């Protein structure tokens, strides 16, 4: 795919052109009022991301919007098609998400592994164009390389923009990206493309942690002694799961109002006791340690065993926001120490 | 592509199964001819019963694929959706999403083997489907032994069919109740005790056991005593679930998704999983 070069005014002009044709979302400041996508606001004027790690909220809100309507119908028996659930027309209009870090881009690719055959996820993927921004100065809580990612990684992104001194290299990575890029752009010099590729190769992390975890026995990891002390401080607040770009669990609820109903899905969290509660009152993961262990085992062992990579991109949001400082990097270390 | 849209169905018949009225069997007919023709399931699979405005519940399919034209679901009234379902009438519209899960391996691993079906309480539903399937393909299986127990005679499911099976000479049927009851001249005793007394041979055999966890736990020792091993015992797990296709996360038992990888697995496979079911 093509690589273009912009100076700052040129990039601003290109973004302004985008703003005229398609809704563009960009990271909102902490506490800033947002619309349907918490943490992401409609871009009204050109804003380039600064340094540091990813935005406060992950891009999963664009792939699993809340609420997402699965089906609707009239609840009146005598209506035509009463009680006959039907799917709404798919949302098809394009949307651009601007300022996405490579970790978030990669999360979409990882979520695509289980969701490859899911209609709603694929529809959302088709309509969403991710414009990434390389992460030249990661935050102290960033660890994408330890999960196999790269601050210059392209996985899951449609366009990646990398700062180069005062200029920007714009890599068009997919057909979706090419459609947004338009025409008449200035190709980047070959030497600069080579330099960027070299930088990427040097910065790409390793899958060593993942491979070592896959080689360990599931039961031994499950029975490790550290889960108890680790989980003691957990409040089961669920913030880790809601912020995590690769936590994709959901709940389905029927919402009935004024003779109509809609079946919707929302994000759910395996940190909550209700998540597994049976109608009988029996709860297979009624204890906190079971829930904490389940989340980490899913991300670091069970998902890799089934799909290959870790279900973690090293964005560090859970590390930053956990009120009791549970740190997934330490959990990886603890798991790797299990014989 | 995976979608969450149920097939529309009409309730064709409702049977109150048990004396406490808490278990009803719903006979459902898919509304669209094409979907009725295309429907196919394996005994042991389940489906989501969908009530618009109430929600969905995962329920084992009680009918055999050899019973054409309709589906049966025997439902215990327990929570929000099952309570709403119990209030529905013949002719009402609802939905079915499925079939889901793997089912019993009736077409491969169980073929040619002696089959022992052990059920307790209202966990008999998918085993009824399996038994009917096996009777319709009788030559594919060896000796079929059924051990089924409930608390009282009035709590037994499918009583008319039990009488029919008892009259057949190609099924070895043992129906038991927990305590002596007036008018009952059959077996009395818990399922594990009766299983020990029947003592089915493990040779070229497979056991399909569904029931309360406590029943399964106590049924194993008498079987193990006469040589049964965990890899010839099939169980069916249950967990809270939403999507039914291995995505929403709720039903996982370690790496195993009950909805997609199960619900059926051998006891040997289950013993390698965390006890989170």
Nearest residue of B to residue A64 by CA position?
B248
Residue B252 inside a domain? The answer is no
A291 touches chain B (CB under 8 A): no
Residues A187 and A143 both lie in one domain: yes
Domain containing residue B121: CATH number: 3.40.50.80
Query: Tell me, what's the pLDDT at A50?
Result: 83
**C-alpha distances in angstroms, A34 versus A38, A43, A57, A65, A193?**
6, 11, 11, 14, 37
Residues 117-176 of A with CB under 8 A from B: 117-120, 122
> Angle of helix B191-198 relative to helix B213-225, nearest 10 degrees?
20
Assess contact for B154 and B19: CB atoms under 8 A: yes
Confidence of residue A95 (pLDDT cuts 50, 70, 90): very high
Residues 174-213 of A with CB under 8 A from B: none
Residues B70 and B130 both lie in one domain: no
Nearest to B57 by CA among B85, B28, B25, B18: B85
What interface predicted TM-score (ipTM) does this complex get?
0.94
Rounded CA separation A72/A83 (Å): 9
Q: Which residue has the higher pLDDT, B201 or A182?
A: B201
Nearest to B180 by CA among B149, B152, B215, B159: B152
**3-class SS of residue A272:** coil
Among the three residues A171, A204, A237, which one is the final residue of a domain in this structure? A204
Number of C-beta neighbours around residue B252 at 10 A: 29
Query: Tell me, what's the pLDDT at A77?
Result: 87
Residue B173 inside a domain? The answer is yes
Query: Tell me, what's the pLDDT at A206?
Result: 94
Which candidate in B48, B53, B251 is best for mutational testing of the A interface (most A CBs within 10 A)?
A: B53
- What tens digit of pLDDT does each residue of A137-165 get? 999 999 999 999 999 999 999 999 999 88
Residues A252 and A300 both lie in one domain: yes
Nearest to B69 by CA among B97, B94, B35, B25: B35
Residues B130 and B44 both lie in one domain: no
Residues A185 and A237 both lie in one domain: no
Residue B192 inside a domain? The answer is yes
A294 touches chain B (CB under 8 A): yes
Q: Which domain holds residue B125?
A: 114-236
Residues A170 and A221 both lie in one domain: no
Residues A166 and A238 both lie in one domain: no
- Does residue A1 surpass a pLDDT of 80? no
Total tally of structural domains belonging to chain B: 2
Residues A30 and A170 both lie in one domain: yes
Instruction: Please give the distance of CA A169 from its chain centroid, rounded to a whole number.
Output: 24
Which candidate in B48, B52, B84 is best for mutational testing of the A interface (most A CBs within 10 A)?
A: B52
Yes or no, beta carbons of B5 and A114 under 8 Å apart? no
Residues B229 and B119 both lie in one domain: yes
Which candidate in B48, B54, B252, B269 is best for mutational testing of the A interface (most A CBs within 10 A)?
A: B252
- CA dihedral defined by A270, A234, A278, A259, rounded to 10 degrees? -60
Residues A200 and A237 both lie in one domain: no
Residues A172 and A220 both lie in one domain: no
* Count of CB pairs separated by less than 8 Å, A with B: 113
Residue B171 inside a domain? The answer is yes
Total tally of structural domains belonging to chain A: 2
Residues A8 and A146 both lie in one domain: yes
Residues A176 and A53 both lie in one domain: yes
Residues B195 and B141 both lie in one domain: yes
Residues A176 and A285 both lie in one domain: no
Q: Which helix (H) or strand (E) holds A303?
A: helix A303-307
Q: Which residue has the higher pLDDT, A166 or B7?
A: B7
Residues A248 and A318 both lie in one domain: yes
Q: Which domain holds residue A35?
A: 2-204
Yes or no, beta carbons of B254 and A302 under 8 Å apart? yes
- What tens digit of pLDDT does each residue of B96-142 get? 999 999 999 999 999 999 999 999 999 999 999 999 999 999 999 99
Among the three residues A163, A179, A204, which one is the final residue of a domain in this structure? A204
Query: Tell me, what's the pLDDT at A222?
Result: 97
- What tens digit of pLDDT does each residue of A22-67 get? 999 999 998 898 988 999 999 999 988 888 899 999 999 999 999 9
Residues B35 and B78 both lie in one domain: yes
Residues B124 and B68 both lie in one domain: no
Rounded CA separation B146/A313 (Å): 52
Segments in A182-237 forming alpha helices (H): 190-203, 208-214, 218-222, 227-232
Query: Tell me, what's the pLDDT at A51?
Result: 83
Query: Chain B residues within 8 A (CB-CB) of chain A?
Result: 1-6, 8, 50-56, 78-79, 82, 92-95, 238-240, 242-243, 246-250, 252-255, 272, 274-277
- What tens digit of pLDDT does each residue of A198-220 get? 999 999 999 999 999 999 999 99
- Does residue A79 surpass a pLDDT of 90? no
**C-alpha distances in angstroms, A22 versus A19, A25, A91, A95?**
6, 10, 14, 6
Percent of chain A with pLDDT over 90: 91
């Amino acid at each position: 795919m093509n690589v273009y070069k912009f100076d700052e005014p040129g990039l601003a002009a290109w973004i302004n052109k985008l703003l005229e044709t398609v809704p563009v979302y960009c990271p909102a400041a902490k506490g800033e009022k947002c619309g349907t996508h918490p943490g992401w606001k409609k871009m009204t004027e050109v804003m380039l991301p600064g340094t540091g790690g990813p935005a406060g909220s992950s891009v999963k809100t664009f792939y699993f919007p809340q609420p997402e309507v699965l089906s609707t119908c009239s609840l009146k028996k005598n209506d035509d098609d009463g009680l006959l659930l039907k799917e709404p027309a798919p949302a098809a209009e394009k949307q651009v998400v601007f300022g996405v870090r490579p970790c978030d881009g990669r999360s979409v690719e990882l979520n695509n592994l289980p969701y490859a055959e899911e209609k709603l996820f694929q529809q959302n993927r088709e309509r969403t164009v991710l414009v990434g921004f390389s992460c030249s100065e990661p935050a102290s809580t960033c660890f994408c390389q330890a999960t196999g990612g790269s601050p210059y990684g392209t996985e899951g992104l449609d366009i990646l923009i990398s700062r180069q001194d005062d200029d920007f290299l714009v890599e068009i990575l997919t057909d979706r990206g090419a459609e947004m890029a338009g025409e008449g752009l200035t190709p980047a010099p070959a030497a600069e493309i080579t330099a960027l590729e070299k930088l990427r190769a040097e910065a790409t992390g390793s899958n060593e942690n993942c491979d070592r975890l896959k080689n360990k026995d599931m039961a031994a990891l499950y029975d490790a002694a550290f889960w108890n002390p680790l989980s003691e401080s957990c409040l089961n607040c669920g913030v880790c799961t809601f912020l995590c770009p690769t936590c994709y669990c959901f709940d389905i609820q029927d919402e009935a109002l004024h003779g109509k109903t809609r079946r919707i899905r929302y994000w759910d969290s395996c940190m909550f006791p209700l998540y597994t509660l049976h109608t009988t009152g029996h709860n297979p993961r009624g204890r906190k340690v079971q829930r904490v262990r389940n989340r980490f085992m899913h991300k670091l062992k069970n998902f890799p065993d089934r799909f290959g990579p870790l279900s973690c991109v090293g964005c560090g949001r859970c590390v930053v926001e956990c009120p009791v400082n549970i740190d997934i990097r330490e959990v990886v270390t603890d798991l790797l120490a299990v014989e | 592509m995976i979608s969450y849209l149920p097939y529309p169905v009409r309730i064709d018949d409702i049977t109150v199964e048990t004396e406490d009225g808490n278990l009803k069997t719903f006979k459902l007919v898919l509304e669209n001819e094409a979907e009725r023709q295309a429907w196919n399931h394996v005994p042991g699979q389940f489906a989501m019963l969908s009530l618009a405005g109430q929600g969905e519940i995962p329920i084992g399919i009680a009918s055999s694929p050899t019973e054409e034209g309709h589906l049966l679901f025997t439902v215990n009234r327990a929570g929000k959706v099952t309570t709403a379902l119990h209030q529905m009438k013949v002719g009402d519209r609802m939905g079915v999403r499925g079939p889901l899960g793997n089912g019993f391996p009736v077409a491969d691993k169980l073929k040619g083997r002696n089959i022992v079906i052990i059920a307790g309480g209202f966990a008999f539903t998918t085993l009824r489907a399996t038994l009917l399937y096996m009777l319709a393909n009788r030559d594919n299986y060896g000796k079929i032994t059924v051990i089924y127990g409930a608390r009282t005679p009035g709590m037994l499911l499918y009583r008319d069919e039990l009488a029919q099976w008892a009259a057949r000479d190609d099924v070895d049927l043992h129906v038991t109740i927990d305590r002596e009851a007036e008018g009952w001249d059959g077996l009395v005793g818990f399922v594990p005790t009766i299983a020990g007394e029947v003592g089915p041979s493990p040779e070229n055999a497979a056991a399909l056991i569904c029931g309360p966890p406590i029943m399964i736990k106590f049924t194993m020792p008498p079987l193990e005593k006469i040589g049964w091993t965990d890899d010839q015992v099939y169980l069916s797990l249950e967990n809270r679930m939403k999507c039914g296709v291995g995505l929403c996360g709720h039903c996982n038992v370690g790496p195993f998704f009950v909805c997609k990888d199960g619900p059926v697995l051998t006891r040997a496979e289950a013993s390698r999983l965390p006890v989170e079911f």
